[in-house]
């Protein structure tokens, strides 16, 4: 069954208004992180699609690599520390003692980041989509997996002599509700999927039954 085309276009302003930040009263607004967002394709002008497969609603990464992930928006924001309580989630350094009002002051606020990301997925009917999701996080909570493409993993190489040597891990299934919206593939995406699947044959086994990739030797 072919996926259904929708003509809904979500504006950047509408998407931005949905971003929930801690201590919004002290938030000073969003600014782009230079050099991260790919502006070659305007995601706002793309037609939306609805995945439709009679075999189920699950979605699966088309390959285990992170190479087709795209950042469409990557913003950062800061806080007015005079408006932040020292016990706030958005405060990184607070005063040791309470002030005359009985509250701790925030001496250094944290930085918050927002990313709109997409990558490539398929359903059990073999149809492929570019799926989009957002990530909002404080700098102090950032870790290796914060900006990973959904359904894809990495882990430290147990055979490596060097710390920080990571290899691609297994993939896992997702649901349509794990994403904000879907669009058709970009012009070069079909070719990229074929290239990455060919490359993954060296490192992973693909199961036609589960539609998942597992590292060789596991």
Give residue-wise pLDDT tens across range 133-144.
Answer: 999 999 999 988
- Rg of the Cα trace of the chain? 21
Alpha helices in the chain (DSSP H): 12-17, 189-200
Lowest mean pLDDT among 9-13, 51-55, 128-132, 168-172: 9-13
138: which 2 tokens?
């404080």
Is the pLDDT at 35 greater than 70? The verdict is yes
CA dist 177 and 126 (Å) reads 19
Q: What is the pLDDT of residues 180-192, one digit of tens each?
A: 999 999 999 999 9
Give the DSSP H or E segment for 72: strand 70-79
Residue with the bigger pLDDT between 115 and 101: it is 115
Q: What is the mean pLDDT of residues 18-47?
A: 90
Burial of 152 (0-12, 13-18, 19+ CB in 10 A): buried
Query: Residues 46, 8: contact at Cβ < 8 Å?
Result: no
pLDDT score of 5: 37
Predicted confidence band of residue 4 (pLDDT cuts 50, 70, 90): very low
Q: What is the pLDDT of residues 122-173, one digit of tens each?
A: 999 999 999 999 999 999 999 888 999 999 998 877 676 666 667 889 999 9
First-to-last CA distance in the chain? 35
pLDDT score of 152: 96
Q: How many helices (H) and strands (E) does the chain have?
A: 2, 15
Q: Domain residues of the chain, as ranges?
A: 4-215
b/e string for 53-63 if b means 16 or more Cβ within 10 A?
Answer: beeeebbbbbb
What letter does residue 46 receive in the DSSP assignment? S
């Amino acid at each position: 069954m072919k996926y259904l085309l929708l003509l809904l276009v979500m504006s950047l302003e509408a998407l931005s208004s949905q971003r929930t930040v801690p201590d919004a009263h002290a938030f000073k607004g969003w600014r782009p992180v230079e050099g991260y967002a790919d502006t070659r394709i305007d995601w706002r002008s793309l037609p939306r699609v609805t995945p439709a497969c009679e075999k189920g609603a699950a979605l699966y990464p088309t390959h285990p690599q992170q190479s087709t992930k795209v950042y469409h928006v990557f913003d950062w924001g800061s806080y007015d520390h005079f408006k932040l309580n020292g016990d706030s989630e958005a405060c990184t350094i607070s005063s040791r003692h309470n002030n005359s009002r009985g509250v701790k002051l925030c001496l250094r606020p944290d930085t918050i980041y927002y990313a709109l990301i997409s990558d490539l997925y398929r359903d059990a009917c073999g149809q492929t989509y570019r799926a989009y999701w957002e990530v909002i996080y404080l700098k102090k909570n950032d870790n290796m997996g914060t900006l990973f493409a959904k359904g894809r993993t990495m882990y430290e190489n147990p055979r490596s002599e060097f710390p920080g040597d990571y290899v691609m891990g297994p993939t896992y299934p997702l649901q349509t509700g794990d994403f904000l919206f879907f669009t058709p593939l970009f012009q070069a995406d079909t070719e990229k999927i074929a290239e990455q699947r060919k490359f993954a044959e060296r490192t992973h086994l693909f199961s036609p039954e589960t539609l998942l990739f597992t590292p060789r030797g596991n």
